[in-house]
């Protein structure tokens, strides 16, 4: 059982999301911010005549925010939150390629001793250049408000 | 087929309700023969439709009921209220048989009951045969039935028609393949049928059998006798038909002439009488179709969506016209504005239903509950013709049920108690609805014991829902019942004190963009006022700007707009200013939404009225009126902020719709 994953980059780290959750990837467009919302919610955009909420994935994962968003991309995802389908866009630095992997064969992380928060991670794999790719459990990520994926203090 | 069956059911439902109305009229004026004719027309159409759709039991019963009314009309029997009862029984039967949750056996039994009632009632024996026999003379017809290609989709069941012809006499049916020309040019079905029929029934009866395909059939009388007795002729004509030599009336003529068969032959010119009845029947059907059209609410939603897009597009054109400065374009834009408003109003109109249509369940609730609680209650209504959007009407049912339950359980006292307090023994609950501008106002008034504001206050303190505060006004104390988890009952009754509380009632009403207010006089009664918008999706708003970002404020809550200098704003103490001799709480939106950035000289104060109180909202700029199509922000934002949605502006950018209720709630929590 192989699944396809899309690789994206946040602050030089590689992450991947199951393509079944991804509708498309669009260029960054200016976002209308909404007052009185958590910081990671960047705002909303006009997505083909509908309102699309935009999440800043860097902020969501407690990574340092980028000052210039213009070169970034928006990954449009459709995920299940408490039985309801929610469409949202996640801002990432860039996306690269799609690869196939059997999740069962990925490395499971030990609970301690890594800089990654294992709760939201399906597994870990490496690309050709031996760079680590973190496979994210995207639906779990959006069921909680604040999460830390990478423990920056430890690095 | 399903869909045509649904059409049939819809059609029958309309016919039945018409029949019902006519029967009520007839009951009031039994001597009116016109009324009987109306009823007969209804029955006849029901019979025809049931025949085509194979509702045999309905067809049979309708036929018998029809006979009763025929006898009434001709004076064979006289009017009796039994006829009316029987007819209502019959209507019930059809309604039941249209539902799927009844077994054939039960249905059969009900049918037999009614049939028996009919038999018992009418002295003369009624049957299809005796009624329709044409003085016992047999006639022979050739029926050429060339259905259009779509006949099956129209729900016509060929088998039933052929069987029906077999039932009224001797017949022989020939199934033929149509000519390619007819199939292509006239869109005919690839087959057609020639039916030789000898019957005692009249031409009119045969016409009736083909009522729903009347334009696709030719009925030609060949002889005033049963030609099936003349085997030589039958053999000859059968061979000719088999060889496809008789496909229309002229070919039949030719055949009859060539063979020198000396028989009377005439094509049935649908005689004047039959023409008339037929006309009435079709007119009847057409009338139903124009009176009301049944449209699924899904289709209306789709229409509303398209109109929302239209309005967004209109706003874009309006903006472009304004920017271009082109006068012609501006004219067109104005015209478009007017047209789209017309369309929008019409579409909204279609979604409106009278509030009367949801009142039935409240009447039932009041009757049952008051009996259970041994209370005597008179329910009065007014303005029940007031119309409101179907979605809103559906959404308001649950909160209203709760309000009624409260009135009956907590409001109206027991009869003895009422007498002791010099009140009429019978309590009264009054429901009235009215239009007010862009709102529907619903008021529910009971003359019960009212709400004891001190009691509410003490309960709230007791339940640790508020910190003791002696400065609360009476209204503020009453409003405590809207607090989550608030309950007055020390014990839970069957009626209230369980399930949803007033906080949920308020939430449900707010979800509909509505407001609820409660006013009460201890010992005298309670007034509940609910204010609802006419529609949910398109709202007239004021487009404003705060720190270069666009926001929308619903226009109907705006009371007035004033200017204030920044220095005045900075000098405000306790967040209130004195306006028209009253204290106006100021909600500083620049602080809340605009990162504390202010324009250089002056700021606008928009005074809005929410829950009967005025508040002043600060905004930088007022950009103008805007007809906004509100789109939801989605799950992610639910209850997280002071916005109810966003609208896409003419230039594609977004403006947030301020949810003033939430805004005020947050504001009040802060101070």
Residue B539 confidence class, pLDDT cut points 50, 70, 90: confident
Q: How many CA atoms lie within 13 A of B129 on its CB side?
A: 7
pLDDT at residue B609 is higher than 70: yes
ipTM of predicted complex: 0.83
Q: Which residue of B has its CA nearest to A89?
A: B636
Residue B497 pLDDT: 43
Q: Tell me if B68 sits within 8 A of B77, measured CB to CB.
A: yes
Residue A144 pLDDT: 62
Average pLDDT score, chain A: 83
**CB pair distance less than 8 Å for B634 and A86:** yes
Mean pLDDT over residues A87-106, rounded?
A: 88
Is any Cβ of chain B less than 8 angstroms from the Cβ of A143? no
Question: B196 φ, ψ to 5°?
Answer: -95, 130
Is any Cβ of chain A less than 8 angstroms from the Cβ of B313? no
Q: Which residue of A has its CA nearest to B595?
A: A35
Average pLDDT score, chain B: 79
The Cα–Cα gap between B309 and B307 comes to: 5
Residue B337 pLDDT: 86
Residue of B618, B637, B659 to mutate for A, most A C-beta atoms under 10 A: B637
The Cα–Cα gap between B608 and B604 comes to: 12
CATH topology of domain B355-533: Heat Shock Protein 90 (3.30.565)
Its pTM stands at 0.52
Q: Tell me if B43 sits within 8 A of B19, measured CB to CB.
A: yes
Residue of B547, B635, B649, B652 to mutate for A, most A C-beta atoms under 10 A: B635
**CB pair distance less than 8 Å for A38 and B640:** yes
pLDDT at residue B1 is higher than 60: no
pLDDT at residue B668 is higher than 80: no
Q: Tell me if A125 sits within 8 A of A15, measured CB to CB.
A: no
Residue of A33, A36, A42 to mutate for B, most B C-beta atoms under 10 A: A36
**CB pair distance less than 8 Å for A86 and B635:** yes
**CB pair distance less than 8 Å for B633 and A53:** yes
Is any Cβ of chain B less than 8 angstroms from the Cβ of A136? no
Residue B301 pLDDT: 79
pLDDT digits (tens, 9 = 90+) for A7-27: 999 988 899 999 999 999 999
pLDDT at residue B476 is higher than 50: yes
Residue B369 pLDDT: 85
Q: Report how many Cβ contacts below 8 Å link chain A to chain B.
A: 60
Three-state helix/strand/coil letters over B368-434: HHHHHCCCCEEEEEECCCCEEEHHHHHHHHHHHHHHHHHHHHHHCCCHHHHHHCCCCCCEEEEEEEE
Is any Cβ of chain A less than 8 angstroms from the Cβ of B323? no
SS3 B598: coil
Residues of chain B contacting residue A37, judged by C-beta atoms under 8 Å apart: 637, 640-641
- Angle at which helices B2-28 and B272-291 pack, to 10 degrees? 100
pLDDT digits (tens, 9 = 90+) for B197-253: 888 877 777 877 776 677 788 888 888 778 888 777 788 888 888 777 777 777 877
The alpha-carbon gap from B560 to the nearest alpha carbon of chain A, in Å, equals 25
> How large a percentage of chain B has pLDDT more than 90?
11
Q: Tell me if B255 sits within 8 A of B247, measured CB to CB.
A: no
Residues of chain A contacting residue B640, judged by C-beta atoms under 8 Å apart: 36-38
Residue B494 confidence class, pLDDT cut points 50, 70, 90: very low
Higher pLDDT, B52 or B656: B656
Residue B430 confidence class, pLDDT cut points 50, 70, 90: very high
Residue A112 pLDDT: 61
Q: Which residue of B has its CA nearest to A48?
A: B652
Which range has the top average pLDDT, A86-90, B111-115, B131-135, B666-670? Answer: A86-90
Residues of chain B contacting residue A41, judged by C-beta atoms under 8 Å apart: 636-637
pLDDT digits (tens, 9 = 90+) for B314-365: 888 888 898 898 889 989 998 998 898 888 888 878 888 888 888 877 887 8
Is any Cβ of chain A less than 8 angstroms from the Cβ of B662? no
Is any Cβ of chain A less than 8 angstroms from the Cβ of B652? yes
Residue B219 pLDDT: 85
Is any Cβ of chain A less than 8 angstroms from the Cβ of B634? yes
Residue of A30, A33, A35, A85 to mutate for B, most B C-beta atoms under 10 A: A35
Torsion angle (degrees, nearest 10) of CA B555, B557, B562, B564: -110
Higher pLDDT, B37 or B488: B37
Across the beta sheet with A22-27, the strand order is A22-27, A73-81, A84-92, A50-56, A41-47
- Angle at which helices B104-121 and B81-98 pack, to 10 degrees? 160
The Cα–Cα gap between A75 and A55 comes to: 10
Residue A76 pLDDT: 95
Residue B615 pLDDT: 92
Is any Cβ of chain B less than 8 angstroms from the Cβ of A78? no
**CB pair distance less than 8 Å for A88 and B656:** no
Mean pLDDT over residues B618-640, rounded?
A: 82
Cross-chain CB nearest to B631 (options A38, A50, A84) = A50
> How large a percentage of chain B has pLDDT more than 70?
86
Residue A3 pLDDT: 86
What would the two tokens of residue B252 be?
A: 């039949």
The alpha-carbon gap from B629 to the nearest alpha carbon of chain A, in Å, equals 11
Higher pLDDT, A148 or B486: B486
Question: Which homologous superfamily does the CATH classification assign to the domain defined by A3-154?
Answer: CheA-289, Domain 4 (2.40.50.180)
pLDDT at residue B69 is higher than 70: yes
**CB pair distance less than 8 Å for A32 and B636:** no
Residues of chain B contacting residue A51, judged by C-beta atoms under 8 Å apart: 631-634, 645-646, 648, 654
Is any Cβ of chain B less than 8 angstroms from the Cβ of A35? yes
The alpha-carbon gap from A33 to the nearest alpha carbon of chain B, in Å, equals 9
Residue B3 confidence class, pLDDT cut points 50, 70, 90: low
**CB pair distance less than 8 Å for B641 and A81:** no
pLDDT at residue B285 is higher than 60: no
Residue B130 pLDDT: 39
CATH code assigned to B2-126: 1.20.120.160
Q: Where are the domains of chain A?
A: 3-154
Residue B638 pLDDT: 66
Residue B2 pLDDT: 59
Task: Say which CATH class B538-670 falls into.
Answer: mainly beta
Helix (H) or strand (E) holding B104: helix B104-121
Quick one: how far is CA A147 from the chain centroid? 12
Residues of chain A contacting residue B543, judged by C-beta atoms under 8 Å apart: none
């Amino acid at each position: 059982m192989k699944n396809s994953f899309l690789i994206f980059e946040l602050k030089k780290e590689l992450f991947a999301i199951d393509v079944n959750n991804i509708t498309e990837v669009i260029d960054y467009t200016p976002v209308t911010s909404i007052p009185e919302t958590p910081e990671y919610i960047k705002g909303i955009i006009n997505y083909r005549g509908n309102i699309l909420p935009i999440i800043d994935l860097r902020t969501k994962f407690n990574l340092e925010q980028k000052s210039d968003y213009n070169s970034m991309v928006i990954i449009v995802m459709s995920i299940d939150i408490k039985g309801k389908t929610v469409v949202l866009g996640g801002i990432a630095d860039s996306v690269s390629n799609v690869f196939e992997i059997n999740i069962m064969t990925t490395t499971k992380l030990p609970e301690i001793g890594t800089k990654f928060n294992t709760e939201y991670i399906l597994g870990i794999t490496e690309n050709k250049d031996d760079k680590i790719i973190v496979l994210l459990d995207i639906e779990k990520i959006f069921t909680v408000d604040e999460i830390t994926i990478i423990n920056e203090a430890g690095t | 087929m399903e869909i045509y069956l649904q059409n049939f059911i819809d059609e029958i439902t309309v016919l039945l309700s018409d029949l019902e109305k006519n029967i009520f009229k007839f009951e009031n004026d039994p001597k009116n023969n016109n009324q009987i004719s109306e009823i007969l027309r209804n029955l006849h159409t029901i019979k025809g439709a049931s025949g085509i759709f194979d509702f045999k039991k309905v067809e049979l019963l309708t036929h018998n009921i029809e006979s009763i009314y025929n006898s009434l009309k001709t004076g064979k029997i006289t009017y009796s209220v039994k006829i009316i009862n029987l007819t209502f029984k019959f209507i019930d039967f059809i309604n039941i048989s249209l539902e799927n949750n009844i077994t054939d056996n039960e249905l059969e039994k009900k049918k037999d009951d009614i049939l028996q009632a009919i038999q018992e009632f009418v002295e003369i024996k009624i049957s299809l045969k005796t009624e329709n026999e044409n003085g016992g003379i047999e006639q022979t017809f050739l029926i050429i039935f060339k259905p259009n290609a779509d006949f099956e989709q129209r729900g016509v069941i060929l088998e039933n028609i052929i069987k029906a012809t077999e039932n009224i006499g001797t017949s022989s049916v020939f199934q033929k393949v149509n000519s390619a020309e007819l199939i292509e040019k006239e869109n005919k079905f690839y087959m057609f049928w020639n039916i030789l029929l000898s019957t005692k029934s009249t031409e009119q009866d045969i016409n009736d059998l083909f009522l729903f395909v009347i334009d696709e059939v030719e009925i030609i009388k060949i002889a005033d006798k049963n030609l099936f007795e003349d085997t030589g002729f039958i053999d000859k004509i059968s061979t000719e038909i088999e060889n496809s030599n008789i496909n229309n009336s002229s070919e039949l003529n030719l055949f009859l002439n060539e063979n020198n068969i000396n028989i009377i032959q005439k094509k049935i010119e649908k005689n004047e009488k039959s023409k008339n009845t037929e006309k009435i029947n079709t007119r009847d059907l057409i009338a139903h179709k124009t009176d009301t059209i049944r449209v699924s609410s899904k289709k209306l939603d789709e229409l509303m969506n398209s109109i929302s897009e239209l309005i967004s597009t209109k706003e874009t054109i309006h903006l472009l016209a304004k920017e271009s400065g082109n006068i012609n374009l501006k004219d067109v834009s104005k015209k478009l504005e007017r047209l789209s408003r017309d369309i929008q109003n019409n579409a909204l109109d279609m979604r409106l239903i009278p509030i009367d249509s949801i009142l039935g369940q409240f009447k039932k609730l009041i009757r049952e509950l008051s009996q259970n609680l041994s209370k005597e209650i008179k329910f009065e209504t007014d303005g029940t013709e007031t119309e409101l959007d179907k979605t809103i009407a559906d959404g308001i049912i649950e909160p209203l049920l709760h309000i009624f339950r409260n009135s009956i359980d907590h409001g109206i006292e027991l009869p003895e108690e009422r007498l002791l307090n010099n009140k009429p023994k019978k309590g009264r609950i009054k429901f009235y609805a009215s239009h007010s501008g862009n709102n529907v106002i619903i008021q529910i008034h009971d003359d019960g014991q009212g709400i004891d504001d001190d009691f509410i206050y003490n309960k709230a303190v007791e339940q640790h829902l508020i910190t003791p505060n002696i400065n609360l006004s009476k209204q503020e104390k009453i409003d405590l019942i809207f607090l989550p988890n608030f309950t007055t009952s020390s014990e839970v009754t069957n009626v209230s004190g369980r399930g949803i509380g007033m906080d949920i009632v308020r939430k449900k009403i707010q979800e509909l963009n509505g407001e609820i207010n409660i006013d009460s006089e201890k010992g005298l009664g309670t007034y509940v006022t609910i204010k609802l918008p006419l529609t949910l999706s398109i709202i007239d708003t004021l487009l404003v700007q705060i720190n270069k970002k666009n926001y929308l404020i619903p226009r109907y809550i705006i009371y007035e707009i004033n200017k204030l200098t920044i220095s005045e704003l900075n000098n405000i103490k306790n967040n209130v200013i004195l306006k028209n001799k009253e204290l106006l709480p100021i909600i500083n939106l620049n602080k809340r939404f605009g990162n504390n950035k202010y324009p250089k000289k002056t700021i606008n104060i928009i005074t809005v009225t929410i829950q009967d109180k005025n508040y002043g909202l600060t905004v930088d700029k007022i950009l103008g009126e805007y007809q906004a199509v509100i789109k939801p922000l989605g799950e992610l934002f639910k209850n997280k902020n002071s916005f109810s949605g966003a609208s896409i502006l003419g230039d594609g950018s977004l403006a947030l719709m301020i949810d003033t209720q939430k805004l005020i709630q947050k504001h009040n929590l802060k101070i």
